[in-house]
Amino acid sequence: MGMERLAVVTGGIGGLGTEICRKLAASGRRVVAADLDSHPERIEAFRSSLSEFNGKVAFEALNVADFEHCAEFAARVSDRHGPVDILVNAAGITRDASFRKMGSQQWMDVMRVNLDSVFNITRQFIDGMCERGFGRIVNISSVNGQTGQFGQTNYSAAKAGMHGFTMALAREVARKGVTVNSVSPGYCRTHMVMQVPEQVRNEIVSKIPVGRLGEPHEIARVVEFLSAEDAGYITGANVPVNGGYFMTS
Ligand code: CAA
């Protein structure tokens, strides 16, 4: 029996994050769900949804867009929970608008939360992982970072950037036992996707070979796989989980 790994999941109480926390806890990891603490009712809903893992799943407040706050968070996690072995970067937002209608705030908000965050938080944990000779970093990108999406120049740029980061860092830490991979979900049944206008969403679903939205637990399954003890030979990869919506060789 291996040691009990500690995972941090950013966006941990969100649509995908919650199921990622559940899957990692179900496979024997201790989990810290890191997210904004601005909506107490969502934290409560998260806690009750994962109550069966009482004591194995904790919530810690985090604003991924702020580097100093990430540093403070990392110190708090270290004190309360110990060294972090697995980091899942799942925090993300949309601010959809066609480019000609997009303001700089919509651009910057998405870049800060979806891409700067990956630097801000990964930077806190990478040294410890390298020193201990084990780490699993999984970045939640998107099919829309692979293909581009109408109305998402900001989001597509951030998500494509996330995978560039993944490949570069994967090279830097490969010899240290640390893997860095991306998962690119397609359209899943989350609050984020349900906010897409119904007609646009139906149009998209009609182009998904599997014929339905993805379920958050189907993304979590791949995160669990990539963060396993024996997944050490997969690094710098981008794993699509999109129901066949976008196929590449
Ligand atoms: N391709 C080409 N043209 C399109 C188009 C498309 N997909 N959609 C709209 N257009 C055209 C319209 O026909 C219209 O043309 P005319 O001006 O000639 O009439 C024009 O573009 C409308 O452009 P607007 O900027 O006025 O569009 P809008 O303001 O009404 O809506 C939008 C734009 C808000 C981006 C809306 O299309 C939208 O919400 N789209 C959904 C985007 C999406 O899929 N987001 C994913 C969110 S979920 C997620 O991100 C999770 C994940 O990772 C998968």
Place of tokens 């009482």: 54
Residue type (1 letter), 76: R
pLDDT at 54 over 50: yes
Cα(118) to centroid(ligand 1), Å:
27
CA nearest to 125, candidates 163, 84, 165, 90: 84
Mean pLDDT of the chain: 97
Q: pLDDT tens across 59-101, in order?
A: 999 999 999 999 999 999 999 999 999 999 999 999 999 999 9
Strand partners, 178: 135
pLDDT at 102 over 60: yes
Q: pLDDT tens across 162-213, in order?
A: 999 999 999 999 999 999 999 999 999 999 999 999 999 999 999 999 999 9
Residue 215: DSSP 8-state: P
155 is catalytic: yes
Cα(97) to centroid(ligand 1), Å:
7
Residues with CB under 6 A from ligand 1: 94, 96-98, 101, 142-144, 149-152, 155, 187, 192-193, 196-197, 200
Q: Which of these is catalytic: 155, 187, 233, 245?
A: 155
Place of tokens 């799942």: 90
Cα(65) to centroid(ligand 1), Å:
26
Residues in contact with 161: Cβ distance below 8 Å, sequence separation at least 6, in sequence order: 115, 145
List the residue whose alpha carbon is closest to atom 11 of ligand 1: 150
Average pLDDT over residues 127-156: 98
CB neighbours of residue 77 within 10 Å: 21
Taking each helix axis as running N to C, give the angle between helix 15-26 and helix 216-226, from 0 to 180 degrees, rounded to the nearest 10: 50
Q: Give the residue, out of 16, 98, 163, 207, with the most ligand 1 atoms within 8 A of its beta carbon, to mutate for a pocket test.
A: 98
CB neighbours of residue 242 within 10 Å: 23
Fold of the domain built from segment(s) 2-186+217-239: Rossmann fold (3.40.50)
